[in-house]
A and B are shown apart, each in its own frame.
Chain A
Amino acid sequence: MGNHKETYPLIRHLGLLLFLAGFGLFIGIFFLSDYRLTEEALQEAFSYKEEVAPMAVSQTLPDDTRPATPPPLYWLMVKEAEPMMGETYNWNFSFVDRLNDLFERTNERVLAIYGLSDDEIEKIIEVSRLETNLEYNTTLALAQLEGEGQLLEERQQLLRDYTGWMEGRTYETSEALEQELRSTLEGLEMGITEGEGISSYSAKGYLTSLVKYSTIGWIANYTWLFFWLAFGLSTAGALMYILPGLGTVAGIKHNNIFFSSLKNRGWLGVLLGTFLILFYIILYFYPYYMTNWILLVEPFCYWMTGNPASEFFLYGFLYTLAVLVMGVRMLIKYRHSNYHKIRTASLMFFQLAFAFIIPEILVALNKPYFDFKNIWPLNYDFFFDYRLDEFLANGTLGLFMLGWGIALIIIAVPLFTYLYGKRWYCSWVCGCGALAENLGDPFRQLSNKSVEAWNVERALVHSVLVFAVGMTIAVLYTYFTASSEFLGISTYTLREIYGFAIGAVFAGVVGTGFYPLMGNRVWCRYGCPLAAYIGIIQRFRSRFRITTNGGQCISCGNCSTYCEMGIDVRWYAQRGQNVVRASCVGCGICASVCPRGVLKLENKDPKGRFGNPILIGNEHVSVIE
C-alpha cells in the first residue's frame, strides 16, 4: 500500500540490481572476447563450398602465374591470411584493423590476377604503334592478354567492356595512347575489386561474419550461459522492478518524474541517450564491432530459424524483448484503463508475431523476409528491385505479399484511418510505435510543445514524405526502364542517400537514440513518411477526434506535458475545441493524465468534427476568435 516506492522495496531494489548486473554484463560482453583467424572462420564467412579441397589451395596457386580457372575468393584469402592465422588478438578493434589490411591485400591479389600487367599494356601500345598507326583496336588489344582458359575469357571480356569506347580512336603519340589507356584501366581496376574482389559494399558483411567466427573465449564456449546471464538476469530484474507496481493503488504514476536524472535530461538521461546513439551507429555502420552480441543470440537464432544470426536478428531480438518487458510495465502502469491495456497488448502482439516470429519463419522456410504490418513508405525498400524480384520469384506467396503490401497502402490506410484515425496503426500496430509507447513511455514528457517545434515538424515530416515518394518513383522507373537515371539523378545514389540519411540516421540513430533527450516519438513526429501520409488523411478525412468536455478544463497542462507528439492539447481543451491534429497518434495518454476528465478519444460522424470552440458554462459569451 501507499507510495509506489514503498511497495516491496526489497524486491524492487533486488530487481534493479539484477537488471543492472545483466545489462552491465551485456555491455561487458562487447569487449570480452579474443579473436583468432582460422580456415574454418574463412570458410564460414565466404560460404566456401566443401567440394573443392581447401588444403590443395596453396599448392595450386603459385604467386607468379595465372591459373586457367578463376580462383574462388576464399583461396586468395586463405593465402593472404597465412601470416595472421593462429595469432590471437585481444581487441576487436585491432582485429578488425588487421582484417581490413587482409582485405586490401586480397584485393591487390585479385587485381594481379584479373588486371592488366605493365607488360601487357606496353604490348598493346607497341602493337598499336606498329600495326594500326596508333588507332586503338579492341581485337588487337585483346590478343595481347596472356593466360588461358576461363580466366583469359573473363579478362578479355573485362577489357572489351571498359575500353570498347576507345575503338577506332587514333592518337597522336604513343604517350597519348598510353595515358588514355591507363586512366581507363583505373576504372577497370575498380570494377575488378568490386566485382571479383571484396567490394566496399560487401566488406561490412564479410568483416562481421569473419569477426564472429574468429571469436574465441568464454562467449564462444559458453554462449547459452552468457545468453541467459545477460538477457535472463536483466529481464528477470526488470520484471522484479516492474511487477511490485501491482501493489500500489492503480492510477497515474508520475510522481517525481521531473526530478529524475533519467527522465528529465539529467546525466543518466544523457548517458542512456549516448548509449543508444552509439548502439545504432555501430548497428548500422560498424556491425563487425558488435559480433560478441550477435554471437550471443546465435544459438537462439539457430534454434528458432535454423540459420546463423546477423546483426539484424540481434536487433530484432533486443527490440522485441524491450517491447515485451516494457509492455508489461505499461500494462501495470495503466491497469486502470482498458484502452491502454488492449492497445499495449496489441502492440506487443504485432511486434512479437508480425515483426519478429513470422518473418524469421519465412526466412527459415526459404521464403522472402516479410513483415506483414510494415507499410510503405515506412517500409521504404518495398518497391526496390531486389524486393520486387523476390516477390516475383516466389510464386503465389510472393504475389500475395506484393498485393498485400499494395493493399495496405491504398486500401487499409485510408479506410482504417477514416474509421479510427491514425491510431489504428501508430499506437496499435506499428513496431516503431510499439518501441516508442513501451520503451519510450518514461520519456514522453520531453517532447517539445512550442509552436516553433510544430512548424519544424510539419516542414520536416512532409519533406521526408516527398523524398520517399520521389525516391520510390525513381527506383521504379529504373526497374521498368532499366535506365539508372531519373531526371538526371542516379536512382541508386538517391536510394542510397535515403537509406543512409532517413532509414538509418533519422529513424534509428536520432529516432531512438534521442528518446531520453527529445522524447519518445522523435522519428514518428519529425521523420516518418507513413505517419505524414496517414496524418494527412486523419486531418482531413476521418471520424476520429479528441473531444473536450465543456468547461471542465483547468489549464493544468498535464495533457500537453505528456503528449509524446508535442501537441499542445491544453491549448484546445481550455477553449473547448476538439483536438484534430495530423500528428496525433491516439495514444490516449492525454485523456488518462487529465485530472478533470476533459478529454475523450472518439470516432464519430465527421460532421462538426472540428467543432467551434465552445466553453460550456457561460450563457452569455462563447469564445470569440
Chain B
Amino acid sequence: MKQVVIIGNGIAGITAARHIRKRSNYAITVISGESDHFYSRTALMYLYMGHMAYYNIKPYEDWFWPKNRIGLVRDWVTQVDTKHKKLRLQEKGEISYDILLIASGSHPRKGGWPGEEAPNVQGLYSLQDLERMEQQTKGIERGVVIGGGLIGVEMAEMLHSRNIAVSLVVREKEYWSNVLPPEEAAIISLHLRRQGIDLQLESELEEIIQDEKGNAKAVRLKGGKQVDCQFVGITIGVVPNISFLEGSGIETNRGILVDSCFRTNQPDVYAIGDCAEYHQPPAGRKSLEQIWYTGRIHGETVASTICGTPLTYKPGPWFNSAKFFDIEYQVYGEVPNLPKEDTETLFWQHLEHEQTIRIAWNKSSGAVKGFSLLGIRYRHEVCARWIKTSATIDSILPALGEANFDPEFHRRHEQEIRDLYEKQTGRTLATPVRKKFWKIFG
C-alpha cells in the first residue's frame, strides 16, 4: 500500500486527501503544524468578530478523519529528503513517504519597514496570528492597517467590530483600485468611510514609531503625516511557505515550481495550493493563485494524478467574491479595471443603494467576457456558461434575469440595464423572456 504524505491541512491538502481516499486505498497522512484539524482560514475574521466559535469553522466534524482513514499528525516538517523519501519533523522524528504532496500554504509578506518587528505589528494568516492579534488589541483605541487588499479590509472590519478606531492606509487612489474599476472602487471607499473607517488614500507607510518598550505607538506616512496607534496590521500580500525545502532539491522560485499536473522537479513530489507556482500558468491566470477555490481545484486535480489518472489543471473562467463590510462583491470572467481597447463595458449603478453591475464584452465580436457586481448576486453557472460559449452581449441581455441570484422579493434591475444598453449603444434588443405568472416566489 502506498504511503501518501501531505504537508499542510489547509483546503488544498485536505481536498487532495479526501479525493485520494475516494479514489484509492492508499495510506494517507496529513502533517500540519498550525492546527489539529482542518479549519476554514477564510473564517478567521469571524472568530475575532464573535460571529462564530472555533468549532463552527471546522468544515468536518472530528470523527470524519478516522472514519475516512486520513491520519492527522500535528507537527512541523523541518526537512525534506527527496533522495530517501523521508521527512524530518520537529518533534515526532522521521516519516517516509512514497508520494509527497506539499500544500504548505503561505505566510504574510513583510515590507522591510523600520519598527516592523514590534510585538504589536503583525500580519494575519494563521490561528497563531489571530491569537496574537487578540492579545495585542485588547482595550486599544486605534489600529492602523497597511495595505489596500482583501485581507486589509477584513482586518479593518475586525478591529471595527471591537469599537477600535481604524486607519486604513492604501497606496492607490481608491481602495482596491488595482482590481476594481474607478466607479466601484469609489463606492467601496465611500462605504468604508460611512462605516467610520479613516481611509488614508494615496499614502504609504514610511516608518513604525516605537515607544521605549519597543511597542509601536504610531506610524509615519510618506509626506510626514503621523497617526498614533496601538496596533499595526500589515496586509500587503502573502508569500509561499517554502523555507523548509532548502536543500531538498525541489525547485522553487517564489513558490514551488510545478508543471500542469502539479509535479515538481523531484519524482513523486507534488505541490498545490498557495505554495505552488506554475511554470506555465493557464490562460488568464497568474503563476501563483493564492485563493480558496483554486486550492480546492488543485487538490481535486492532483488527487487524480496521484491515483494513476494524470490530469492537468484546467480551471474554468475566472471568478471570485469578497465582502467589504456590508457590500458583497462577485466577479465572473474578466472585467478590466481600466478601459481596454478591445473591451467595451456597460456599467449600471443603483441610484440609492450600493449596487452596481458591470458587464464586459469584446468590442468586435460582442462575446461577453465578464460580470462584476457589487451588492447583487449572480449565478455562477449561467455566467460561466455565457463566457465559455462566447455568447454575445445582445443575446444574453434579454435573458439576463436567468443570471440573477438575489434573494426572492429583491428588486430586479434587468430592464433598466437593457434600457441603459440600448441608450448607450443605440442598438435594439430582442424582447426579454417573460417569467411564468404563477412563479410567485423568485
Interface residues of A (CB under 8 A from B): 1-3, 5-6, 249-252, 254-260, 264, 336-339, 342, 419-420, 445, 450-451, 547, 549-552, 554-558, 560-561, 570-571, 574, 588, 591-592, 595-597, 600-603, 615-621, 623-625
Contacts and interface: CB of A to CB of B under 8 A. Distances in A.
B319 A550 contact: yes
Given A1-B196, A558-B46, A551 B319 contact: yes
Interface residues of B, number: 64
A451 B67 CA distance: 13
Contacts of A621: 19, 297, 300-301, 303-304, 311
Contacts of B405: 547, 549, 597, 600
Interface in B47-73: 49-53, 56-59, 61
A264 B55 CA distance: 13
A552 B380 contact: yes
27 contacts: A5-B163, A249-B326, A254-B50, A255-B50, A255-B51, A255-B161, A256-B49, A258-B52, A259-B50, A339-B408, A549-B380, A550-B319, A550-B379, A550-B380, A552-B330, A552-B380, A557-B46, A558-B51, A558-B52, A588-B408, A600-B407, A602-B408, A616-B380, A618-B315, A623-B300, A624-B22, A625-B22
Contacts of A560: 56
Contacts of A338: 407-411
Most interface-central of A254, A597, A620 (chain B CB within 10 A): A597
A11 B241 CA distance: 51
B23 A619 contact: no
Contact of A596 (B23, B162, B328, B410): B328
Given A249-B194, A596-B328, A597-B321, A551 B51 contact: no
A450 B56 contact: no
A560 to B, nearest CB: 7
Q: 5 nearest interchain CB pairs?
A: A550-B380, A251-B326, A2-B196, A597-B377, A338-B409
Given A255-B161, A338-B410, A561 B51 contact: yes
Nearest to B160: A3
Contacts of A1: 194-196
Contacts of B296: 551, 615
Contacts of B316: 616-619
B39 to A, nearest CB: 9
Given A552-B321, A618-B315, A3 B59 contact: no
A552 to B, nearest CB: 5
B43 interface: yes
B441 A603 contact: yes
Given A338-B409, A600-B377, A620-B314, A557 B57 contact: yes
Contacts of B304: 620-621
A555 B196 contact: no
Contacts of A603: 439, 441-442
Contacts of A618: 297, 300-301, 314-316
Interface string B265-300: 000000000000000000000000000110011001
A603 to B, nearest CB: 5
A252 B316 CA distance: 31
Contacts of B341: none
A259 B296 CA distance: 32
Interface string B147-168: 0000000000000111100000
Contacts of B87: none
B312 interface: yes
B328 to A, nearest CB: 5
A256 to B, nearest CB: 4
B407 A588 contact: yes
B253 interface: no
Nearest to A554: B42
B196 A595 contact: no
B320 to A, nearest CB: 8
A419 B11 CA distance: 38
A585 to B, nearest CB: 15
Nearest to B49: A255
B247 to A, nearest CB: 34
A337 B43 contact: no
A624 B314 CA distance: 17
Contacts of A574: 59
A249 B325 contact: yes
A557 B52 contact: yes
B51 A257 contact: yes
A591 B407 contact: yes
A45 B296 CA distance: 72
Contacts of B297: 551, 617-618, 621
Interface string B308-351: 00011111100101110110101000000000000000000000
Contact of B42 (A339, A445, A556, A620): A556
Contacts of A624: 19, 22-23
Contacts of B194: 1, 249
Interface string B400-417: 000001111111000000
Interface string B185-199: 000000100111000
B8 to A, nearest CB: 16
B407 A601 contact: yes
Contacts of A600: 377, 405-407, 442
B310 to A, nearest CB: 11
